[in-house]
């Protein structure tokens, strides 16, 4: 039988060559320095391979040459969009090794910071996702509100991006006077703006067309690849470490009320005020991953409000963080926390000196990125940014 390769075959479809093409590391929509190697047939992408390591800064190795307190600034630079959450993960891990628990006042400030940073991170995730889909304006609207959060952080710790605020044994300092009012004012201003975001993106017909049904990640596959955070919850898996995590971590949120944002019976918790799930959307697609983030912002606002109340009610003293040369007890500890992008784990082995013998960070984005090749198979070229953007990757955390 004559095949397409047979020279004698005269009549056949025009055979097109596959093209190998590099998306990144310098590309507008790879969120930093991700390099995607694409094999495309025209517009159809047949194979995707992510290449990483362009932002590798040996953070883990550096951690084995610094004391636990000294390594805090390096955790900032992992997920630089959620520095507070990175600090928190490391601080909790070290505290667990030391068996050190912080007073309630510090605990509530930590919750406050972690949730505010979660809002900021999700805002960037939402804004850049709009950018990936060719819509420029939501990005600036998101950054406008994020600026206000950064202003709040700046007032607390002097930094706008790399905070090093939450440290083992407490936090760098108590909240300045008048800060609580400013935070409340921000939340009041932010609340109506959320509706704008939904009008601009969530409800936009083109946005739905571009994201619904694109990059469907089934729950089983998500678990298999170790996906966590909004990516996992977007696939309908009810898992949030703030509720289900290690007792050492969940203790931080012990008297807080919040919902884990995951779809149950076709509905998200408290989604009545927000756009309904469009008919085209399939559980686990890009739209759901995006929507989970948007609803988590709402939950975080709620948690921040509770934290503000609890902080004012807390009567205990502010604690002193550990010293720079604080000796760690011999042993090992691993603690995972729910960072905005997923489960961020810190592993620490100590040989009894002040400097850890081994430090390791479990990156959520790394696991989330690994699923790209599966999701992008057979999609169109324009879907690649739509899928990668919906995973909300930060290269600083993947490469460390």
Partner 1 sequence: MAEFFAETWALPAPAAYALAGLIHCALLLGIVATGAMGFIWLERKVSGRIQDRLGPTRVGGKFGWLQSLADGIKLLSKEDLAPQEADRLLFRAAPYISFSASYTAYLALPFAPGWVAFDTNVAVFFILAVLGLEVFGVILGGYASGSKWSLFGAMREAAQVVSYEVPLGMCVAIPVLLTGTMNLTTIAQMQAGWFTNWLIFHDPFTFVAFWVYAACALASVNRAPFDLAEAESELVAGFLTEYSGLRWSYFFMAEYGSMLLVGGLAALLFFGGWNGPVPIFHSLGWAYAPDETAWRLTGFLSNLAGCMNFLTKAVLGVLVMMWARWTLPRLRIDQVMSMCLKYCIPLAAFCFVGVLGWQALGVASPNDWLPAARGGAIAVRETWWWQEAAAAPAGRAGRGDESGVGADTGDVVGGTARRARIAEGAGGAG
Residues that bind partner 1 (CB under 8 A): 19, 21, 27-29, 42-43, 130-137, 140-141, 144, 200-201, 204, 206-207, 209-210, 380-385
Nearer to partner 1, 181 or 196 (CB): 196
Min dist. Cβ of residue 13 to partner 1 (A)? 18
Nearer to partner 1, 114 or 386 (CB): 386
Min dist. Cβ of residue 310 to partner 1 (A)? 34
Burial of 243 (0-12, 13-18, 19+ CB in 10 A): middle
Min dist. Cβ of residue 381 to partner 1 (A)? 6
Min dist. Cβ of residue 9 to partner 1 (A)? 26
d(CA 112, CA 41): 49
Q: Distance between terminal CA atoms of the chain?
A: 55
Burial of 154 (0-12, 13-18, 19+ CB in 10 A): middle
Q: How many residues does the chain have?
A: 400
CA distances from 395 to 101, 117, 307 (A): 32, 18, 31
Burial of 182 (0-12, 13-18, 19+ CB in 10 A): middle
The set of residues, in sequence order, having a beta carbon less than 8 Å from that of 288 and lying 6+ positions away, is 234, 235, 236, 263, 277, 281, 282
The set of residues, in sequence order, having a beta carbon less than 8 Å from that of 75 and lying 6+ positions away, is 59, 83, 86, 87, 89, 90, 346, 361
Q: Hey, which residues does 336 pair with through a beta bridge?
A: 345
Q: Which residue pairs from 13-21 have beta carbons closer than 8 angstroms and sit at least 24 positions apart in sequence? A: 16/41, 16/42, 18/46
Nearer to partner 1, 43 or 49 (CB): 43
CA distances from 336 to 167, 215, 237, 244, 363 (A): 16, 27, 18, 11, 10
Nearer to partner 1, 172 or 381 (CB): 381
Nearer to partner 1, 134 or 329 (CB): 134
Nearer to partner 1, 51 or 61 (CB): 51
What is the DSSP-derived secondary structure letter of residue 303?
H
Q: Are 287 and 212 in contact (CB under 8 A)?
A: yes
Nearer to partner 1, 3 or 136 (CB): 136
- Which backbone phi and psi does 368 adopt, to 5 degrees? -65, -35
Min dist. Cβ of residue 198 to partner 1 (A)? 14
d(CA 231, CA 217): 9
Nearer to partner 1, 45 or 91 (CB): 45
Nearer to partner 1, 55 or 200 (CB): 200
Nearer to partner 1, 291 or 311 (CB): 291
Q: Are 376 and 48 in contact (CB under 8 A)?
A: yes
Min dist. Cβ of residue 52 to partner 1 (A)? 20
Min dist. Cβ of residue 219 to partner 1 (A)? 26
Min dist. Cβ of residue 333 to partner 1 (A)? 41
């Amino acid at each position: 039988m004559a095949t397409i390769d047979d020279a004698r075959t005269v009549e056949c479809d025009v055979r097109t060559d596959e093209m190998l093409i590099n998306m990144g590391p310098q590309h507008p929509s790879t969120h930093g320095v991700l390099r995607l190697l694409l094999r495309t047939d025209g517009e159809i992408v047949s194979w995707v391979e992510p290449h990483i390591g362009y932002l590798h800064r040996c953070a883990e190795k550096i951690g084995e040459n610094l004391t636990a307190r000294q390594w805090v600034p390096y955790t900032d630079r992992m997920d630089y969009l959620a520095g507070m959450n990175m600090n928190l993960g490391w601080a909790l891990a070290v505290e667990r090794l030391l068996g050190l628990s912080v007073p309630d006042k510090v605990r509530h400030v930590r919750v406050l910071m972690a949730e505010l940073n979660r809002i900021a991170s999700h805002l960037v995730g939402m804004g850049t996702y709009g950018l990936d889909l060719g819509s420029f304006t939501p990005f600036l609207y998101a950054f406008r509100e994020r600026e206000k959060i950064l202003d709040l952080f700046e007032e607390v710790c002097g930094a706008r991006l790399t905070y090093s605020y939450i440290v083992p044994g407490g936090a760098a300092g108590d909240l300045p006077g008048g800060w609580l009012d400013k935070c409340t004012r921000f939340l009041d201003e932010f609340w109506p703006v959320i509706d704008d975001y939904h009008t601009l993106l969530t409800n936009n017909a083109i946005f739905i067309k571009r994201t619904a049904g694109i990059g469907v990640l089934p729950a089983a596959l998500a678990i298999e690849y170790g996906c966590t955070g909004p990516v996992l919850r977007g696939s309908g898996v009810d898992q949030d470490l703030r509720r289900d995590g290690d007792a050492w971590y969940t203790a931080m949120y012990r008297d807080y009320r919040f919902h884990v944002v995951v779809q149950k019976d076709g509905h998200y918790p408290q989604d009545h005020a927000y756009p309904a799930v469009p008919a085209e959307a399939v559980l686990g697609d890009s739209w759901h991953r995006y929507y989970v983030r948007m609803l988590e912002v709402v939950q975080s606002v709620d948690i921040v409000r509770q934290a503000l109340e609890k902080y004012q009610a807390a009567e205990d003293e502010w604690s002193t963080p550990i010293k720079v040369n604080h000796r760690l007890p011999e042993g090992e500890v691993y603690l995972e926390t729910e960072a905005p992008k997923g489960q961020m784990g810190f592993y620490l082995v100590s040989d009894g000196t002040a400097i850890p013998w081994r430090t390791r960070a479990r990156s959520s984005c790394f696991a989330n990125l690994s699923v790209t090749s599966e999701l992008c198979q057979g999609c169109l070229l324009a879907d690649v940014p739509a899928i990668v953007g919906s995973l909300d990757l930060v290269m600083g955390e993947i490469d460390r």
